[in-house]
Each structure stands twice: as C-alpha cells, then as structure tokens.
Amino acid sequence: VKRVIKDTKLENAKVAVGGVSSMHKDLDSISKADYSRTVLLMLIGISLILIILLRSLIMPLYLIGSLVLTYFTAMAISEKIFVNLLGYTGISWAVPFFAFVILVALGIDYSIFLMDRFNEYRNMPVQIAILLSMKKMGTVIISAAVILGGTFAAMMPSGVLSLVEIATILLIGLALYSLVVLPLFVPVMVKTFGEANWWPFLKAKDHDNPID
C-alpha cells in the first residue's frame, strides 16, 4: 500500500487493516500479553508467599518448577488428545490461560499441605521427615485431587469445546501432580538438597530446634 500511494494525495494517509483476520490478530496479541503478565505475577507472588511460609529459598524453587513441569506436560498430553486423536486444529486460545491459573492455584495448595508438615518435622533427619510427611498427608492430597477431579469432570458433558479442554487439562494435571510429581519428584528433591532445603535460614532453623 505504501508503494502504491507514494507521490499521490494519499501519501500521508494513515493505513489500517480491518476485518475478521485483523480482529483475531489483535485478540491473539492481547491474550498473549495478558497470559505472560499473569504467569509472571502469579509465580512471583507464589514465590514470595512460599519463602515466608516455608522459611526457605530452595523449596519454593523446586515446588514452582514441579508445577510448571506438570502444567506443560498436561498441556502436551491434551494437545495430543484433541489434535492428533480427535482431529481439532488446536487448543482454544483461552484454554492455556485459565488452565494455568487453576492448576497452579490447586497444585500449590497441595504442595503447602505437604511441605508445611515437612517443616514440622525439621528437627528429624530429612529422609525420615519427608517420609512421615508423605504418610500423614498423602491420603489427604489424593482425596482432595479425586474430589476436585470429579468436579471438573462435570464440565465434560457441557459440549463447549473450551470447557472440555480446560477440564481435560485439569484432570490430567491433577492426576500427574498428586500421583507422580508430588509423591516422587518433590521427595527426591528434598532428599537431594538435605539440610540445604532451608537455605538461607539454616541458623534460624537450628535455633528453633536446638539439639539436646
């Protein structure tokens, strides 16, 4: 257009694009910007809360990492289901945003259940503390995941594709987090870091639980 209107009366005119395609392009740009901003703010806010609650900089890192890993795994599996198996062109544009918000909010609750109990046993050896925490909280976490999974499964018969996709991602994510990531990945990370789980609050930890 700029080449065609050069040296004409319209040379200084403002050129814009309208129609359905441009509306979808604007919607895509806005949704991506909102998604990125929301993810950043959520992760920063959750990190600060976990640092204060768990008195550690290490535990929040691998807890948030476990949630991000679960989210992307659930998204990948869901895309395989809807695109490769069911033949849809892709996941609806609004689905990643809502799925991330809900899955991270639920997953961090389960993490806090486990790690708060782990902190109660911090005067014990790390391996014994995490085993006791899993023993005490495992049933609670799995029960909560089953109940919430049933709630989200009620969205399946709605017939609205975006709701079905969100429900599928959440069901897969809850199953992965409560049955695989939280019982396996998190305890492995706890055992790997050992006493460094409470870094940089190691002195405060020792002061709270003096050795007789």
Q: What is the 3-state secondary structure (H, E, C) of 13-62?
A: CCCCCCCHHHHHHHHHHHHHHHHHHHHHHHHHHHHHHHHHHHCCCHHHHH
Q: Using 50, 70 and 90 to split pLDDT, how confident is the model at 23?
A: confident
Q: How far is CA 32 from the centre of its chain?
A: 17
How far is residue 126's CA from residue 187's CA, in Å, rounded to a whole number? 10
How far is residue 108's CA from residue 64's CA, in Å, rounded to a whole number? 8
Bigger pLDDT: 152 vs 205: 152
Region at 87 (left for phi over 0; alpha for psi -120 to 50; beta for the rest):
left
Q: What rounded mean pLDDT belongs to the chain?
A: 84
Tell the residue number behind the tokens 């609205």, with chain if given: 160
Largest separation between any pair of C-alpha atoms in the chain = 91
Per the CB < 8 A criterion, the answer to whether 190 and 118 are in contact is yes
CA atoms within 13 A on the CB side of 22: 4
Q: Tens of pLDDT along 134-187?
A: 888 878 888 888 888 888 888 888 778 888 999 999 999 999 998 888 888 888
Q: Tens of pLDDT along 74-102?
A: 999 999 999 888 888 888 888 888 899 88
pLDDT (0 to 100) of residue 203:
56
